[in-house]
Structure 1
């Protein structure tokens, strides 16, 4: 295969060290840059630029042996200095982050001692136990000093399978870098990424091109393409939680009984059918199947309006109960629809809803981060790292950027124990216990975990068999 066309909402990418969970951006960057390790579907990790690693029994000292046969696109050999420089750069808050994430990753690395101990060896020493450090490193691309300097000139030099040939606001073209380190039978020589925002135009372009992928297909477009036999649709599990996060610092949502009642009052399966086009699975708590510690057998909150009314009565709150919901206009795009549907379900159990719409999405994220929300705020972002998820949103001792007042000392203890536990399976059990406790306390309105849909043209179908290529877990388009 020679060329592959990829259509997606946008082709913005920028500095690879800027914190982001934008799938379109990450798909582009992941083909150009590489990290030390990569995350697998079961929560474990495989080597990429690292050859192997060890962790001390006290979960404070990591040692990485690096590959000695890797070169950047400009020909410079990869070595330990590149790892040290990249990790130190990422912990500089000046690098920034999208939608309120500035300083999030740097906060974890701020006190980490980062040093090379040989040309191809790096040691990381943390002041506190950090058994989940790989969760962070998997999302940090490694750049050389020269490639960091090149960013200021708009040049992107990585170690990945592809190099950027040219780009503008609407397209990115890449060419395959010859390498004997990796081989894969689905390996286009050239990738052409195009920014096409509107579904109709993407479908029309799709029908005219033989080798084409549409990233982030909407459920409606997926159904149309399937009906026309124009494409194979691949449904990828993601770590995204579509939810309303309750304000547990003040207001009516400080009542645990009310929070649980609200979750029982909502028919999530119907919401998935109506709002998500059926392309999602109901949340049973604050994790998805992509998170270490997720329990697929958790009971969740099945639709039970009678139980909801009983819990509301038991809550002993002043009547009438009013809930004020904050919603953005994007991310998730369906936030206003979700708020309207929630208001209808809650009216049936005696709760009135006032919806406050926020047009400025970055400002909305900052409102959540500074804990200035009303009773609940719609949000759709959740890091795939269980370590980050629990510390940033639920550990009251940390009171992280997205923490909104949840306080359970037993959960705090489980999270802290997991940080001290080097064995991943033991950590999984600890996180499962935390998942169960948090779910039972209902600090969120648990809605759904959406699939990321990818449309593959018919001519590519034979290359996307079970033994061939498919998007990564999470739906990123990586070609390795």
Structure 2
């Protein structure tokens, strides 16, 4: 039997692929087993997945995808347009697409779409509204074999059947998932014949397993502890900027933060670089807008540090020259540094006369539901994880949608830009529109922008040119040939 490449990571669950998740470890397993119509490219953008090609009408309302010839599922059944449409329609149901605190994520985009096969190899999607960024949604539109759907409907997701580069062979007590290369996969043949994902919640133990050779890939390593890998020639430390944005959501519907001057003052008062050193020991980059540098159409400015004089002026203009007390909701995890971060932010904004009264929440899921139901005081610690700029604007910024994480913010100029971008199929033109929106949201911030984390993945061997995919998900099909793995051509 071929030796397996062992991948250790802090989370390991075989979930329903039609529920929305931004958890990179879960997505790594999904991407190994399933395909969507498109996949993220290693160098950015989208590349063919099940679809060999695609096109949209000029208004981005009618999309057509032409499938590759000869696609098969892991159980040997054919993957045709009817099978793809079954999965996409399931994904679009209001009871699917659930993520922490937010039901029906995909339903809001595809729920009223007509998704049907035009012929054996053609998938036709007709939207009720233009979505020029539809590929942002369909990259997570994982296609499941029709033979497995009945099990999924009963809640049994432990025997996944997809078309992806690897097929499931064994699950061991929820602690390990074993996969072997699917030789009929449509893409470039993966270098490693057998892989196994292994659960190890402790970051120090993951690092030790990589160093000892017990594992060949270790995900989510501690930023500082993993630096010792750089002293070894037989291990590779890969540092990448996560698309996750660490922020505070402002309650712009009522209270002091309904005033844009106060929102702007807080963003001017914080020293992001000092926060990064103090709270995450340098493992982040300053965030100066509503999305980070990895996002399509972002236009970040250089972080020049705090401008306390302008922040005080804005507070005085808003009627708070003598100080302001803000009520803050703070979870005890996700982000795990939330409490320490809030204390550090409190210390910094005290320089402009702002005090934070903190309310802790230990139940993270209940906390997320509270935010979704708008049961937020003046502001709350949160993160924003979609890589899609369109999704962030549509789900969190657009007042007309009033999505799960929208808290009363309204900017007509940004909404007009989003409306134009929705029907702008030309990528360069749409990117320019998002850049304009980015600048508006710097001048009139929807949130308290803080930082994008730096993450670390370790690999056995020396692989100086290998890099993580831009969404921060480990693409196992793109791994180099690793120690103890089969290297046959």
User: Per-residue CA shift, 1:224-259, capped at 9, x if unaligned?
Assistant: 444677732111232110011110001111121211
Q: Which of 468, 472, 477 is the equivalent residue of 1:475? A: 472
Gaps of 5+ in 2: 478-489
Alpha-carbon distance, 1:409 to partner: 0.8
Contact 2:269/2:311 (<8 A) preserved: yes
Counterpart residue number, 1:172: 177
Match of 1:282 among 286, 298, 320: 286
What per-residue deviation string (whole Å, max 9, x for no partner) do you get for residues 390-414 of structure 1? 0111111111111111111111100
The corresponding residue for 2:202 is: 198
Counterpart residue number, 1:103: 104
Residue number in structure 2 paired with 1:91: 92
Offset, 1:337: 0.8
Q: Deviations over 1:340-359 (max 9, x none)?
A: 00110011221111111111
SS across alignment from 1:260: helix
Instruction: Flag the 1:447–1:308 CA change in 2: closer, same or farther, 3 A.
Output: same
Alignment of 1:415-430 (within 5 A): 415-430=418-433
Deviation at 1:311, TM superposition (A): 2.0
* Counterpart among 350, 358, 363 of residue 361 in structure 2: 358
Structure 1 counterpart of 2:186: 181
Q: 239-248 vs 393-402, which deviates more?
A: 393-402
- Structure 1 unaligned segments of length 5 or more: list them: none
Note closer, same or farther for the CA distance 1:180–1:201 as it changes in structure 2 (3 Å cut): closer
**How do residues 61-460 of structure 1 correspond to structure 2 at under 5 angstroms?**
61-151=62-152, 152=154, 153=156, 154-167=158-171, 168-179=173-184, 181-184=186-189, 187-209=191-213, 212-226=216-230, 231-296=235-300, 298=301, 302-317=305-320, 319-457=322-460, 460=461
CA deviations 1:10-40 (Å, max 9, x no partner) are 2113111111101111111110001101234
C-alpha RMSD over aligned residues: 1.9
Does structure 2 conserve the Cα–Cα contact (< 8 Å) formed by 1:294 and 1:435? yes
Structure 1 segments of 4+ aligned residues over 6 angstroms from their partners: none
Distance 1:155 1:302 in 2: 51
What TM-score do you get using the length of structure 2 for normalisation? 0.92
> Does the 8 A contact of 2:9 with 2:197 survive in 1?
yes
CA deviation string 1:258-296 (max 9, x = no partner): 111111111101111122221211111001122111114
- In the alignment, is the contact (CA less than 8 A) between 1:42 and 1:292 conserved in 2? no
Is the 2:96–2:106 Cα contact (8 Å) retained in structure 1?
A: no
Query: Alpha-carbon deviation of 1:180?
Result: 6.5
Kept in 1, the 8 Å contact 2:333–2:364? The answer is: yes
Name the SS for the 1:159 alignment partner: coil
> Is 197-206 or 113-122 further displaced after alignment?
197-206
Deviation per residue, 1:40-59 (Å, 9 max, x gap): 47763211100111111122
Kept in 1: contact 2:37–2:49 (CA 8 A): yes
Task: Classify the secondary structure of the residue corresponding to 1:236.
Answer: strand
Q: In 2, are the aligned partners of 1:266 and 1:345 still within 8 Å (CA)?
A: yes
Task: Report how far residue 101 of structure 1 moved.
Answer: 2.6
Which region of structure 1 is more displaced relative to structure 2, 420-429 or 310-319?
Answer: 310-319
TM-score by length of 1: 0.94
- How many aligned residue pairs are there? 472
Matched residues in 1 for 2:169 and 2:253: separation?
A: 51
Per the alignment, do residues 299 and 413 of structure 1 end up closer, same or farther by CA in structure 2, a change over 3 Å counting?
farther
SS of 1:417's partner is: helix
Query: Is contact 2:209-2:215 (8 Å) kept?
Result: no
Q: Which residue of 1 aligns with 2:9?
A: 8
Residues 159-203 of structure 1: per-residue CA shift (max 9 Å, x gap)? 01111111132111111111363335x621111211111123223
